[in-house]
A and B are shown apart, each in its own frame.
Chain A
Amino acid sequence: MASLAFSSTSASPVALRGRPNKLAIGVAQSGACHVSARGSDRKARLFITRAVAVEKKVSRFEDVAMAPPDPILGVSEAFRACTNESKLNLGVGAYRTEDLQPYVLNVVKKAEKLMLEKGENKEYLPIEGLAAFNKATAELLLGADNHSIQSQRVATVQGLSGTGSLRLAAAFINRYCPNSKVLISSPTWGNHKNIFNDAGVPWSEYRYYDPKTVGLDFEGMIADIKAAPSGSFILLHGCAHNPTGIDPTPEQWTKIADVLEEKGHTPFFDVAYQGFASGSLDEDAFSVRLFVERGFEVFVAQSYSKNLGLYSERIGAINVICSSSDVANRVKSQLKRLARPMYSNPPVHGARIVANVVGDPNLFSEWKAEMEEMAGRIKNVRKRLYDNLSQKDKSGKDWSFILRQIGMFSYTGLNTSQSENMTNKWHVYMTKDGRISLAGLSLAKCDYLADAIIDSYHNVN
């Protein structure tokens, strides 16, 4: 049987040229070699299977090209591969302690222990997720006594962290507001574009980052939002803008709200860092609450990846604050209908952790303290970096934007070549847009980083 397999392939005139796949077609079409796969001994069967495999059809997915590496997650991969002792990972936005270790919050450990003891079952959640979680998350965002909650105007559906919640909202917009587009900041988190693209929602950008000031291009932002067709969705970062770390001031938020009102736009908030930016949950919710207060209908995507350190549990929510409870009910039902063919119902573990932490007054207080600590460490690191840069840089350049920026990230103002120099010469791993994750920086490393930044900024074009 083995020899039959061989002879049929070598006998074929196609065997000597062309790609293996063409060979497979050639043999199949000639109808040769109907070798039974049910050989008596395994080796012969394997051999025959391979011969049969040659005969098999060409894969349909042969023309599938390799996808490009993710610009953010690829940085960590490169970091892991680097062997230099001084290497520093300032790529992905995952919080690290001063010892640059991942951090599982104490309240999370306690909540998980409670859950292990309770031994709850693992039944399917309803499509909209864990009720206790949904209640807790909306209240955390808006305040339990917020009128929109009291009057049941908030449609909340548990989602797969921020990404999944954004995607549900995008799918909803695609289906129910098919003529509307979304405006996203320039720059914004890289995955925003992918989400709207895959959901089939057209988008364009509004100016946001001003490289000259390394600050907010407020005039440009207002102008672009004003120029957008009425009824557009404006994607806003609730706090701690990613990747720049630049947030509007309260006065600027008010003016932004004015423009949205004037143009009949709908605010769409991405809240991935509530509590993580300033250290205070309420303070970080200011922008969202302002818009809700003003009577807007608002989309808000939330994530607990950073503020509760639940990255891999994928826990978040999409909230739609509507003008009436009737609309909220209908909107919620349609969000469910979009979720069902995506994943049926969301994962339970992370939801239970959040519900347990928020639902227990002691754990909740402890959480707030841990969050303040994390935000505090980042503020300290910012201060140290700023001090080091100011002392070492004799050019007189103003580095104070580092102090004004907030949250996990800082837009250093370094361009692509300069960022590459950071990596190639100094083994500092960051994204090419000049973004560094301060969550991955320790006080001990600020000195080294300052040297790297100064060198890259001044000596590279």
Chain B
Amino acid sequence: MAFRAMISSHATQQSKWVPSAGVARQMSSWFGHVEPAAKDPILGVTEAFLADPSPDKVNVGVGAYRDDNGKPVVLECVREAERRIAGNLNMEYLPMGGSSHMIEESLKLAYGEDSDFIKDKRIAAVQALSGTGACRLFADFQKRFLPDSQIYIPVPTWANHHNIWRDARVPQNTFHYYHAETKGLDFSSLMEDIKNAPNGSFFLLHACAHNPTGVDPSEEQWREISHLFKSKNHFPFFDMAYQGFASGDPERDAKAIRIFLDDGHLIGCAQSFAKNMGLYGQRAGCLSILCDNEMEAVAVKSQLQQLGRPMYSNPPVHGALIVSTILGDPELKKLWLQEVKGMADRIIGMRTTLRENLEKLGSPLSWEHITNQIGMFCYSGMSPEQVDRLTNEYHIYMTRNGRISMAGVTTGNVGYLANAIHEVTK
């Protein structure tokens, strides 16, 4: 009874907050020294876009796919999967490593349906919080088990890669990647850097559809990279966020990984289903590390789980269920493959149209890199100042490194976009 009385008297006092006498010391915060964080360069663009009242505004900032009407898309195969899993029996915790069904299907996608590595159980794999979570788990694992190692990161790369390895306290180096003059790959410098890195270095490679440049090595170039990696005994860590999304064919997009596997490398791989299945907000992904043998894979997996436990205990189920439902059902998988090809084709089509428009406008510059590059992004080559003009004068939103998310380009806005780009670059 006394307890209830205490609560009700407490409740009536709530609306009037008067600090008790001894609390005067508390008035100044313990956290007064906390500076405001800078806006995330990528996600901050969307915030700014949303705040803009202009009817002409165009968002080619964040890499989320849009249909030709500029609308977010939920794939039909995803909707169907959700209908099937609705009324799911229970929401019990997944095991620490996540959904084994989802992991199995993810590995088949990355390593090949008939991969011996899967059959031989040599892959340590856990469900992860999309690509970010997979990279972070790997970085933490690297820190814990190879504390003297560093990571080589391409220039440029997705900005969050730097944050991830920094917060995992793994020292970073960079290697040449993008060639500003050609707006293509700086292959010779890349190979130099690989050669000059100390033997046994860790390298972060984008498996396909490099973010932000859209510039990928050719198959032949991948073979040479793999060969050089072998003689240097480097560790290849692949971030594969766009499998299926680059060429429209997941098998083709996994080519780089398969080349490395054939050459006998023991790789690490972060997979994301954010883009290729449109599961962005569900945070569905997978981290895998190819080991020497099954016993080692079991040990490594147990340690990955150990790292995940104090971060989130076990991963979220919903996205995983969608992935495994789709990939585990031949009909749904077929539908997915069609839909993913559809998305890739639309982007490829927009690349062609954007380039044609710019050429028709009589731009003195070369725009062939728009169609040479692949995947969601185009590295336009524009300067930050030119990007600022696009935003301020034309209400076109993109990141200041000149990266255009082609997924945000539509038949409705491509003309406007081409014109604006022409105006600020002529």
A-to-B contact residues, CB < 8 Å: 21, 37-38, 46, 49, 52-53, 55-67, 70, 73, 92, 94, 102-104, 108-109, 112-113, 116, 119, 121-127, 143, 145-148, 151, 160-161, 163-164, 167, 171, 176-177, 191, 194-195, 197-199, 231, 249-250, 261-262, 264, 266, 282-283, 286, 289-290, 293-297, 305, 309-314, 320, 322-324, 327, 329-331, 333-334, 336-338, 340-350
Contact = CB atoms under 8 A, between A and B. Distances in A.
B77 interface: no
B33 interface: yes
B192 to A, nearest CB: 22
Contact of A198 (B16, B300, B310): B310
A277 B6 CA distance: 18
A52 B303 contact: no
Given A163-B312, A176-B33, A312-B317, A102 B282 contact: no
Given A164-B312, A347-B318, A250 B6 contact: yes
Interface string B184-198: 000000000000000
A167 B312 CA distance: 8
B32 to A, nearest CB: 6
Interface stretch (B91-99, B100-108, B351-359, B362-370): B91-99
17 contacts: A59-B292, A70-B309, A104-B91, A119-B79, A122-B78, A163-B311, A197-B310, A295-B27, A297-B26, A297-B29, A313-B316, A334-B36, A337-B37, A340-B160, A347-B129, A347-B319, A350-B316
Given A330-B35, A331-B31, A191 B91 contact: no
Contacts of B72: 121-123
Nearest to B313: A163
Give the residue among A52, A64, A249, A264 with the most B Cβ atoms within 10 A.
A64
A252 to B, nearest CB: 12
B68 interface: no
Give the residue among A67, A109, A127, A264 with the most B Cβ atoms within 10 A.
A67
Contacts of B90: 102-104
B266 A57 contact: yes
B306 interface: yes
B71 to A, nearest CB: 8
Contacts of A125: 281
Contacts of A46: 116
Interface stretch (B211-219, B257-265, B375-383): B257-265
Contacts of B3: 249-250
A167 B310 contact: yes
Interface residues of B, number: 104
A164 B265 CA distance: 34
B271 to A, nearest CB: 15
A349 B318 contact: yes
A122 B72 CA distance: 8
B15 interface: yes
Nearest to A59: B292
Contacts of B17: 147-148, 151, 293, 295
A334 B26 contact: no
B23 A294 contact: yes
Contacts of B7: 282-283, 286
A122 B319 CA distance: 10
A345 B146 CA distance: 28
B20 A327 contact: no
B136 interface: yes
A127 B43 contact: yes
A348 B322 CA distance: 14
B13 A119 contact: no
Interface string B120-148: 00000000011011001000100001100
A67 B292 CA distance: 18
B228 interface: no
B280 interface: yes
B292 A62 contact: yes
Interface in B67-83: 72-74, 78-79, 82-83
Contact of B37 (A164, A286, A290, A336): A336
A329 B160 contact: no
B316 A297 contact: no
Given A62-B296, A122-B279, A348-B282, A330 B28 contact: no
